[in-house]
Structure 1
Amino acid sequence: MSRKTKTPNNEDNDNSRRGVIKTLGLGLSLATLPAFISAESVNISTEALDPGESIIPLEERDLIEMHKFIEDCITANKDSNPQEAVKEVLARAVSNPSEMLKAIGPPTEAGLKVFLRSKDITIFAASWTPQMNLMPHNHLMWANIGIYTGREDNILWKRTENGLEASKAKCLFEGDVAMLNANAIHSVTNPLKRFTGGLHIYGGDFFATERSQWDPETLIEEPSNGDVIKNIFKEANEQLLKMKKD
């Protein structure tokens, strides 16, 4: 499966053809990015990218598969059934969870490691702290989720005349992949006493979309966006530190 990274050698490539680190205003620092991410932009193969798309640079030999995975997702997203095509790429990637964990790095805190953001597709690794819960929320675009370490329990919800009601549940273990349609509402729990990590792929610009979340006790609908998500992760990390001290 290994494949060499293509590096353009002509000097006419401008910054739109170069790998660029994206922190997306979520409070991410280089310290929270995978160990293999360099702080410097480097020329990489971007033939699959459309104008306006950006990708984190991948340099070392162990990153070749991750680089290929991102490129394959971009290509699959151009398919007539993009969600299904991207799901196949994701399923192959997490079919060997230990290799994916090695490439991304073991999770050490709640947060996102964003690999690609564009108007058509967003790819990031999400880490849940032990026994972390996320209230019901929607995405307003299709989503594929593949688990590479730990476990993620999902409750799917539906809107009814009486408000939001639980519909069904799905447990995702290492190597499992789930598909959510654009209208899906789900809540997430990490039931384990260790971290859970998953690759999340969305059919649009996840961070530019105003979404909804529902209060976990009252199930009242509330607005959600990048700042709200940032605070959720901040609170989860603070709770983890408190548990360690206790």
Structure 2
Amino acid sequence: MFDPERFVEDCRDAVRQDASHRAVAEVMRRALSDPGAVMDAFGAPEGPGLEPLYRNSDLTILRLAWKPTMMIPPHDHAMWAVIGIYGGREDNIFWRRLEGEAEGRIEAAGARALSTGDVCPMGPDIIHSVANPIPRLTAALHVYGGDFFEAERHEWEPEALTERPLDMAAVRARFSD
């Protein structure tokens, strides 16, 4: 049985033991070993949303529901992250910064599809874009090694792939109906 309050406490304990993403990734793997229990604890998402379960300066835990075919342009987190999918699918494209004349731009460097039960740890320098490629909501837990809402972060304009400051109000709006 998955207990959201216990999950939060386990993540907090993990960060106290190891400030990197490694210990939190293990907590997420244990939780996602039974994704149905996570879904039962929260209930199936009824609409898109971004719900903070815990937030302080060194840890943010979110429950997300991605709209069908929703896409998030390339962005950084400026902190480590651990993503766990408990219903649906999330496709990630990973990007790398270009140097020289193309500085401020990025190019694709890899990809990973995450399905129900998958966990994906990400280091603090990762840049990725995300899409929900399926015709139903995708449910996920995201854990970040800092204050997700207050960090100075960046995103890349989807057409020209040029860097700009991330607008958190726009991020929140993407998760509304």
The superposition leaves residues 109-142 of structure 1 with CA deviations (integer Å, 9 ceiling, x where unpaired) of 2221111000110001111111111100000000
User: Displacement of 1:73 after TM fit?
Assistant: 0.6
- Kept in 1, the 8 Å contact 2:76–2:153? The answer is yes
Is residue 173 from structure 1 mapped to residue 111 from structure 2 by the alignment?
A: no
Query: What CA distance in whole angstroms lies between the structure 2 residues aligned with 1:160 and 1:224?
Result: 19
Which has a greater percent of strand? 2
Matches within 5 A, 1:93-242: 93-161=31-99, 162=102, 163-234=105-176, 237=177
Query: What CA distance in whole angstroms lies between the structure 1 residues aligned with 2:59 and 2:167?
Result: 17
- Kept in 2, the 8 Å contact 1:210–1:225? The answer is no
- Kept in 2, the 8 Å contact 1:94–1:146? The answer is yes
The superposition leaves residues 14-51 of structure 1 with CA deviations (integer Å, 9 ceiling, x where unpaired) of xxxxxxxxxxxxxxxxxxxxxxxxxxxxxxxxxxxxxx
Query: What CA distance in whole angstroms lies between the structure 1 residues aligned with 2:18 and 2:39?
Result: 30
Matches within 5 A, 1:12-31: none
Which amino acid is the alignment partner of residue 32 of structure 2?
Answer: V
Which residue of the partner structure matches residue 5 of structure 2? 67
- List runs of 5+ in structure 1 lacking aligned partners: 3-63, 238-246
Q: What is the Cα-based RMSD across aligned positions, in Å?
A: 1.4
User: Displacement of 1:203 after TM fit?
Assistant: 0.3
- Kept in 2, the 8 Å contact 1:144–1:180? The answer is yes
User: Displacement of 1:233 after TM fit?
Assistant: 2.3
Query: What CA distance in whole angstroms lies between the structure 2 residues aligned with 1:121 and 1:109?
Result: 25
User: Matched residue of 2:134: which SS?
Assistant: coil
User: Displacement of 1:81 after TM fit?
Assistant: 5.1
- List runs of 5+ in structure 2 lacking aligned partners: none
- Kept in 1, the 8 Å contact 2:20–2:80? The answer is no
User: Displacement of 1:102 after TM fit?
Assistant: 1.3
User: Displacement of 1:68 after TM fit?
Assistant: 1.1
Which amino acid is the alignment partner of residue 149 of structure 2?
Answer: F
Query: What CA distance in whole angstroms lies between the structure 1 residues aligned with 2:112 and 2:48?
Result: 21
| Runs of 4+ deviating beyond 6 Å | none
Count of equivalent residues: 173
Query: What CA distance in whole angstroms lies between the structure 1 residues aligned with 2:85 and 2:19?
Result: 22
Task: Kindly name which structure, 1 or 2, has the bigger radius of gyration based on alpha carbons.
Answer: 1
Query: What CA distance in whole angstroms lies between the structure 1 residues aligned with 2:54 and 2:131?
Result: 25
TM-score normalised over the length of structure 2: 0.93
- Kept in 2, the 8 Å contact 1:76–1:82? The answer is no
The superposition leaves residues 57-82 of structure 1 with CA deviations (integer Å, 9 ceiling, x where unpaired) of xxxxxxx7221111111000112354
- Kept in 2, the 8 Å contact 1:147–1:199? The answer is yes
TM-score normalised over the length of structure 1: 0.67
- Kept in 2, the 8 Å contact 1:122–1:203? The answer is yes
Which residue of the partner structure matches residue 47 of structure 1? none
